[in-house]
Structure 1
Amino acid sequence: MLCIACCAFGCYAQFVLKFPKDRFLIGVCVAGYFFFTGLVTLIDMLVIKTSVICIKVSGQTVFVDVTMQPFSHEMTIGLRNHIGLKKDTPICHKTSVGEYFDSDGYLGQEEILAAFLKLVKRFEKEHDGKEAERKKDK
């Protein structure tokens, strides 16, 4: 919705307004465009981060993060259930990218799925343990 607002401001300023006559409205459209673009950027930096997909695990929203440093063969796949406010540590699996490709250079989807499912089981196990602790504390 924010991106649609950005595009609407830009299109309105480009195709509807005329420069000398609508100078003030063009300035408003430019300011609106940068405001909504800034909101999209903040959401990307603070919430989405390195997430490639958002799924439901054990009834809660979980971000699947994939990070890889430049010029490195190591990749980290992680699951996190926070937006940046709660400081739960993400469940991570660090491995070489070469484990997911066969000798011909094709991606092995089964290997990625197996690693992902192990990560989900670890996440569920740790989440269930934390829920039990929270219930005891109450």
Structure 2
Amino acid sequence: MYKTILTPRVSETDAVGHINNTTLPVWFEAARNPLFDLFTPDHDFAKWKMVIVKTTLEFTGQIYFGQDVEVNVWVKKIGGSSLELYEELYQDNNLCAQNTAVYVNYNLDKKKSEQIPEEIRLELGKHLWVKNEEEPPVMSE
């Protein structure tokens, strides 16, 4: 599991004092930085590999300014050229949001997906959702 701690900013709140719903996709993406480092270590956007093709976000609790949040990211599935992530966001030990994201290892020049290299697969495998852990909650479709 990859774990990231983020500090909410005043600008991320809405008119009723909650963290705005548009903020969470940005936070989940920030928690994926270690994955981006695996695929494009030099962060050169001309050679960028990870292209998001699907994300599903479910809000399960309210989030407020003034207290850090913890974002946990697991690799749920590794395909030939794609990977599925399962993510949770907590504040004060309360689950506030769940997300799944599917990425494709994509070659921008060739405009096609590519196999995930073996060394990256091995590293991703260290962060798999372990079968003996409690299964992630089923998100409504």
Q: Larger helix proportion, structure 1 or 2? A: 1
- TM bin, normalised by shorter chain, reads under 0.3
Calculate the TM-score normalised by the size of structure 1: 0.26
For normalisation by structure 2, the TM-score amounts to: 0.25
In our comparison, the structure showing a higher alpha carbon Rg is: 1
